[in-house]
Amino acid sequence: MAHYRAEGLREFTEIPAPGPRRVVVAAVHSQPSKSRSAEENVRRFLEVVDKAVPEKTDVILLPEGITVVGTGKKYADVAEPAPGPTTALLAEAARKKRAYIVAGIYEREGQLLYNTAVLVDRDGNLADKYRKVYLPREEMEGGLTPGDDYPVFATDFGRVQLMICWDVQYADPARALALEGAELVLVPIWGGNETLGTARAIENHVFIATCGYDYPTYVMDSAGKVLAQAAGQGTAAVATIDLNRRYVDPWLGHMRGRFFEELRLDVPVGPPRSYWVE
């Protein structure tokens, strides 16, 4: 496929197509039970990472709430600062694997608690974090506070975004991040609607990796095709994706560019209304 560079206002010069930009993604499927502490939980996850994730992986994805699942504890019991004890354990694994790690924890900042996904870089630094914007009412009743922005993170292989579980139910988190140039969406998730997860990849033309308990753990391309899926407990979905690949429809062309050019944001959308059945 020809690629062009603008020369002045009216002329374009053909340039070589960019080469592949390959990224190895590993999503780990594990669900500890009967753990006595958040630290024990995290160490169990990292044992699976050590065994199931191959060398030369670029980014490793763990599920939502790795510090609480299977412990019987409440959010407030396991909430901690970020950086904090859990990010320190993740940092050890990141340095060992020379990979980025994404995981869902419960973060405490002052009196507030958040459902947070952390991004640890290859050197073990806390590169950034995302606080879950769409909280189901059950989490708010449990004391959590919703986040208020959709950050996109620059890594050494490309631009990634993080979403958490209930965010998948709504169109705007993935769309907002794709509009900011995100190429890969990493989703720690507990459970949810698989069809909507696929829709977020297709409608925004981004790669998606999910890592869940009551949701499949997979790596998916921007056409909604599952490239790899974890086989069961203690395994990982591992796939090599090419962030420079253009997914072109034979009739409609390059859909990522076309979709956002034709997206109608000028038509007003009214506020949500509550409907009650008597």
Q: How far is CA 205 from the centre of its chain?
A: 14
> In angstroms, rounded to a whole number, what is the distance separating the alpha carbons of residues 30 and 66?
10
CB neighbours (10 Å) of residue 172? 12
Burial class of 2 by CB neighbour count within 10 A (0 to 12, 13 to 18, 19+): exposed
Residue 247's pLDDT is: 77
User: Is the pLDDT higher at 113 or at 250?
Assistant: 113
Report whether 94 contacts 101 (CB < 8 A): yes
Cα separation, 88 vs 126, in Å, equals: 9
Average pLDDT across the chain, whole number = 90
pTM reported for the whole predicted model? 0.89
Instruction: Write the pLDDT tens digit of every residue in 48-87.
Output: 999 999 999 999 999 999 999 999 999 999 999 999 999 9
Domain ranges of the chain: 21-262
Tell me which of 259 and 166 has the higher pLDDT. 166
**pLDDT 10s digits, 144-164:** 999 999 988 999 999 999 999
258 — pLDDT class (breaks 50, 70, 90): confident
Looking at the DSSP bridge assignments, the partners of residue 107 are 80, 114
Buried b (16+ CB within 10 A) or exposed e, 217-227: bbbbbbeeebb
Q: How confident is the model at residue 125 (pLDDT cuts 50, 70, 90)?
A: very high
Q: Name residues whose C-beta falls within 8 Å of residue 204's C-beta, 6 or more positions apart in sequence.
A: 174, 175, 177, 178, 185, 222, 256, 259
Give the C-alpha separation, 160 to 1, whole Å.
Answer: 26
pLDDT at 192: 93
Residue pair 247/255 in contact by the 8 Å Cβ criterion: yes
We find that the CATH architecture of domain 21-262 is: 4-Layer Sandwich (3.60)
Of the two residues 249 and 9, the one the predictor is more confident about is 249
One-letter amino acid for residue 154 of the chain: A
Task: Give the pair of three-digit tokens for residue 139.
Answer: 């989490």
Would you place residue 90 in the very low, low, confident or very high pLDDT band (cuts 50, 70, 90)?
very high
Sorting pLDDT into bands at 50, 70 and 90, what band is 44?
very high
